[in-house]
Structure 1
Amino acid sequence: MGYRIPVTLGNIEPLAYKPYKPGKIALVCEGGGQRGIFTAGVLDEFQRAGFNPFDLYIGTSAGAQNLSAFVCGQPGYARRVITRYTTSPHFFNPLRFVRGGHLIDLDWLVEETSKNMPLAMDTAEKLLLEGREFLMCACRSDDYTANYFAPTRENWLPVIKASSAIPGFYRMGVELDGVSYQDGGISDAIPVEGGLSPWRGHDRGDPHRAVRHVLHPAVDEAHGAVAERK
Structure 2
Amino acid sequence: MIEGESVQNIKIFKENKPALILEGGAMRGLFTAGVLDAFMEHKLYFAKTVAISAGTMQGLGYLSRQKGRNYKANVVYSSDRRYMGLEHLICEGSYFNFNFIYGDLARKLIPYDFDEFDNTDMEMLAVITRCDTGECVYISNLNMDEKKYLNACRASCAMPLFSKAVNVEGIPCVDGGVAMPLAPLPDELPFECIKPVYILTRDIKYRKKEISSLYCSIIKKFYGSEYSKIAEMICSIPKIYNEKVEKLLQLEKEGKVFVIRPEHEVEVSRVEKNRTKLKILYKEGYKIGMDRFDEMMRWIREI
Do the aligned partners of 1:61 and 1:183 also contact (CA within 8 Å) in 2? yes
Deviations, residues 88-118 of structure 1 (Å, cap 9, x unaligned): 2223324665899643333332223232234
Is 86-95 or 23-32 further displaced after alignment?
Answer: 86-95
Is 1:30 the equivalent of 2:23?
Answer: yes
Pair 1:196 & 2:187 matched: yes
Which amino acid letter does the alignment assign opposite residue 156 of structure 1?
Answer: Y
Higher relative contact order (CA closer than 8 Å, sequence separation 6+) = 2
Please say which structure displays the higher CA radius of gyration: 1
SS of residue in 2 equivalent to 1:142:
coil
Q: Which amino acid aligns with 1:69?
A: G
1:64 aligned partner:
56
Encode CA deviations 1:167-209: one digit per residue, 9 max, x unaligned: 2212x2111111011111222243324x523xxxxxxxxxxxx
Q: Is 1:183 aligned with 2:175?
A: yes
1:215 has 2:190 as partner: yes
Say whether the 8 Å CA contact 1:196–1:220 is kept in structure 2.
Answer: no
Residue among 111, 119, 129 paired with 1:139: 129
Q: Counterparts of 2:166 and 2:154 in 1: how far apart (Å)?
A: 7
Note closer, same or farther for the CA distance 1:186–1:112 as it changes in structure 2 (3 Å cut): farther
Per-residue CA deviations over 1:139-183 (Å, capped at 9, x if unaligned) read: 11223221110023242211121111112212x211111101111
Contact in 2 for aligned 1:55/1:218 (Cα 8 Å): no
Paired letter, 2:75: T
Structure 1 position 138, deviation (Å): 1.1
Task: Return the alpha-carbon distance in structure 2 between the equivalents of residues 42 and 66 of structure 1.
Answer: 10
C-alpha distance after superposition, 1:114-134 (max 9, x if no partner):
322343233234441xxx432
The correspondence of residues 38-117 of structure 1 with structure 2, limited to 5 A, is 38-52=31-45, 54-94=46-86, 102-116=94-108, 117=110
Specify whether residues 76 and 99 from structure 1 end up closer, same or farther in structure 2 by C-alpha distance, changes over 3 A only.
Answer: closer
For the Cα contact (< 8 Å) 1:66–1:78, is it kept in 2?
yes
CA 1:106 to 1:41, structure 2 compared with 1: closer, same or farther past 3 Å? same
* TM score, norm. by length of structure 1: 0.68
TM-score, structure 2 normalization = 0.53
Contact in 2 for aligned 1:146/1:188 (Cα 8 Å): yes
Structure-1 residue corresponding to 2:138: 148
Percent identical pairs in the alignment equals 23
RMSD (CA atoms): 3.1
Q: Which amino acid in the other structure matches residue 35 of structure 2?
A: V
User: In the TM superposition, what is the alpha-carbon distance from 1:71 to its structure 2 partner?
Assistant: 1.5
Structure with the higher fraction of residues in helix conformation: 2
- The CA distance in 2 between the partners of 1:69 and 1:99, in whole Å, is 27
Measure how far apart 1:73 and its partner are.
Answer: 0.5
Q: Quote the Cα distance in structure 2 between the aligned partners of 1:94 and 1:125.
A: 33
